[in-house]
Amino acid sequence: MKPLNTVIGDCLLCTWQPSHGVTWVQTRSSLHARRLSQRRDGRLVMRGVVGGYLRTYEFRHSLRWAGRLISRYLRDETPTNAQENCFALGKAKLSALRGAGQRATRPQCVNKNPPFQP
């Protein structure tokens, strides 16, 4: 068991546990923020505008759960409903939107430290 306020993740998506049974997940990516907002078991607790896009969500889960969630989100960076929407667009239009089938790369973090250190 990790101590409280131990940060897991990077500057794009990270998590920590401010108190037992509560985990906060913070992101600077609008894609991850959309995925987190679609979950029923969480709520938005903080939104930042100055210094770039920033959203923090609260979940009533363990830090281990949040670590698995972050791993899954970083492994598969497609939105929750992306597959359904892709089939509706059609292959030709979808390839044009993707840039001839090339997958978008994840932005590199300039600062390797997490954005929030309690």
Residue 107 within any structural domain of the chain: no
- Side chain identity at residue 78, one-letter code: T
What is the per-residue pLDDT for 103?
A: 47
Residue 76 within any structural domain of the chain: yes
pTM, 2 dp:
0.63
42-92 pLDDT, tens digit each: 999 999 877 789 999 999 999 999 999 999 988 876 555 555 444 444 555
Range of the domain at 75: 8-98
What is the per-residue pLDDT for 89?
A: 43
DSSP per-residue string spanning 63-85: HHHHHHHHHHHHH--S-TTHHHH
Sign of CA pseudo-dihedral 68, 33, 78, 81: positive
Sign of CA pseudo-dihedral 21, 63, 27, 105: negative
3-21 pLDDT, tens digit each: 888 899 888 899 999 999 9
Residue 16 within any structural domain of the chain: yes
Residue 108 within any structural domain of the chain: no
